[in-house]
Amino acid sequence: MSATDVHAGAHPAGVVGDGTTTRSRATSRWRRLRVPLALVATLVAIGLLAALPEPRTSTTPLAPDNPGPAGARAVAQVLGRHGVDVRYTRRFADVVAADASGVTVAVLGEASLTDAQVSALRDLESDLVLVAAPWAAEQVAGIRGGAGTSDDDRRPARCDDPDALAAGAVQTAGSLVAGPGQVACFPVWGAPDSSGGAYVVAQVDGRRVAALGSGDLLMNDRVDRAGNAALALRVLGRGEQLVWYIPSWDDPWDGTAPDDEGLASTMPPWTEPLLWMLALVVVVAGVWRGRRFGRLVVEPLPVVVRAGETTRGRGRLYRRGRAHGHAAAALRAATASRCAARLGLPRSAAAPDVIDAVARATGRDAAVVEDLLYGPPPTTDSALARLAGRLDHLESEVHRS
């Protein structure tokens, strides 16, 4: 390849294109890439959804993040504005971890409480508030469940408990029966047994255990009736920290093994199925993109490309990429190959043999020939042009010999 070929920049007039346009090539690329792009977009969307925090509202009855009629968000927000740190959880391990003197643990409902959890409640140091949990109240403090009544009845305190007296009267359907030495407030209207009431307070092993017969005292649509709000806020807000626990069927705590406090324990329950789905998508994409197409098949080119055109095209690519070393190596290899053939050397002749033969044929010093054919690569266009001219002159000398 000569210097003229390397620096050629004009497009030959006889070039025949492949018949495509910018629009057709873009359409072809889009058809090839749309499925991978769709998979990537799906994975990104799933990842973003998985990374989003859980919604701040729920529909769980008596939950502090439930703004619906059966929720208790109003009470929780008022407690928070009065300096009470409300920690909502559905994991019993969090209750055990937060246990300390001066902490209040509120258990709302008992449908999924286990014997191990009730036994652990009995051993806590924290004050307890048991809401709509008569079985747990009986196991922990000997407070038994009683016959309920209509929640339309206004029930005065009729006891000397300060929280009950501050509330004055409540409207609730719950009822409990106090044990010996315990205080029962808000009895059922007209009931002959004075030991029953909607609210019972007991002292168990030096800590305070309060029980509410029904959770309707805390519900958003009933908390504003009579003194319901006052009783709920005073009972739940006695300490600076309140652990709001609603039992869950999928709570793995059984009291026999330490709870896993790793990353997995902080993730929502749908994380594991989501990870399995993502793994399946990765496997399917790998099989789809990794399939073999079989051996290569030789096909005729759609156009005829002349050898000179290919040479000029390669030269333009070298020039555009400033690949002076590659261009010089191509020029030197072609010159050495033609000179060796002219001097009768085999194609596999070693470099020293080619240098000696060319030096004898041209009368030049072997070091000069070696520098021309195997010297350092040029670093500029002008140096490459000078090298091409010197190689061309050397080859003409060999042909004249």
Per-residue pLDDT reduced to its tens digit, 16-37: 344 556 777 778 778 878 888 8
pLDDT band at 132 (very low <50, low <70, confident <90, very high): very high
123 membership: H or E segment, kind and range? helix 115-123
**120 alpha carbon, distance to own chain's centre:** 35
Q: Of 299, 375, 270, whose CA–CA distance to 49 is shortest?
A: 270
pLDDT band at 50 (very low <50, low <70, confident <90, very high): low
Per-residue pLDDT reduced to its tens digit, 317-374: 877 888 888 888 888 998 998 998 888 898 778 899 999 999 998 889 999 999 999 8
pLDDT band at 263 (very low <50, low <70, confident <90, very high): low
**What is the average pLDDT value for the chain, to the nearest integer?**
83
Over its C-alpha atoms, the chain yields an Rg (Å, rounded) of 44
SS3 279: helix
Please tell me the distance from the alpha carbon of residue 246 to that of residue 327, in angstroms, as a whole number.
77
Neighbours of 271 (CB within 10 A): 13
Percent of the chain predicted with pLDDT > 90: 38
With both helix axes pointing from N to C terminus, report the angle between 115-123 and 134-141 in degrees, rounded to the nearest 10: 50
One-letter amino acid identity for 147?
A
pLDDT band at 73 (very low <50, low <70, confident <90, very high): very high
Adjacent-strand bridge partners of 199: 185, 212
Q: Of 223, 194, 199, 197, whose CA–CA distance to 211 is shortest?
A: 199
Per-residue pLDDT reduced to its tens digit, 379-396: 888 888 899 899 999 989
Considering the entire predicted model, what is its pTM? 0.55
Please tell me the distance from the alpha carbon of residue 76 to that of residue 172, in angstroms, as a whole number.
19
**326 alpha carbon, distance to own chain's centre:** 46
Task: Dig out the tokens for 366 from the structure.
Answer: 């072997």
Using alpha carbons only, what angle is made at residue 365 by residues 360 and 366, rounded to the nearest 5 degrees? Answer: 75
Per-residue confidence (pLDDT) for residue 257, from 0 to 100:
46
Domain definitions of the chain by residue range:
22-52, 73-254, 308-400
pLDDT at 262 over 70: no
Per-residue confidence (pLDDT) for residue 11, from 0 to 100:
40
288 membership: H or E segment, kind and range? helix 271-289
